[in-house]
Amino acid sequence: MKSRDHKTAQGDTHDPNARKVIAVNRRARHEYEIIDTYQAGIVLVGTEVKSLRAGRVNFQDAFVRIENNEAWLYNMHISPYEQGNRWNVEPVRRRKLLLHRWEIDELRGRSEQKGLTIVPLQLYFQRGFARIEIGLGRGKKLYDKRQAIAERDRQREQQRELSGR
């Protein structure tokens, strides 16, 4: 299949497969060592898409659970759309994730191992559809977190010295 570059009014090329990132769960990468990532669709109702386009989403304490051969996202807060009145839904409700059967089976098998959990990493639009990247992760110990912070500080210092010259 040939891909064509479409020019916008500003002269930039527009890639139809490009991601427009809405929100990133930075805390997940700090709290968990991410082993594997998956891309899933998300079932939204009412005015939730308009709230997402406005960037009104919070990943605080969000997690994924496999129940009855279906993947469900819990505790992700999507603020009600301000002009939505009666079509708004509950901000914190469980939302179904759209994955292939083999992905669900693989996630179930691997998440049942000791210490592995499924966490949302980022939410984005691709080809006009809301998608979520989920990761299979193992919780970090406190000393691992301290090590990561120290490494980040070392890299920041190196960047400062290089840019200062």
Q: Long-range pairs for 54-61 at CB < 8 Å and ≥24 separation?
A: 54/81, 55/22, 55/23, 57/22, 57/23, 57/123, 58/23, 59/23, 59/25, 59/27, 59/28, 59/120, 59/123, 60/27
The yes-or-no verdict on residue 9 having pLDDT over 50 is no
Which tens digit of pLDDT belongs to each residue from 44-94? 988 888 889 988 899 888 999 999 999 999 999 998 888 877 767 888 999
What is the CATH number for 82? 2.40.280.10
Q: Which two tokens stand for residue 36?
A: 């594997």
H/E element, 143 = helix 142-164
The 8-class DSSP code of residue 1 comes to -
Asked whether residue 56 is assigned to any structural domain, the reply reads yes
Range of the domain at 74: 19-140
Provide the domain count of the chain.
1
Asked whether residue 4 is assigned to any structural domain, the reply reads no
Give the pLDDT of residue 3: 45
For the chain, give the percent of residues with pLDDT over 90: 42
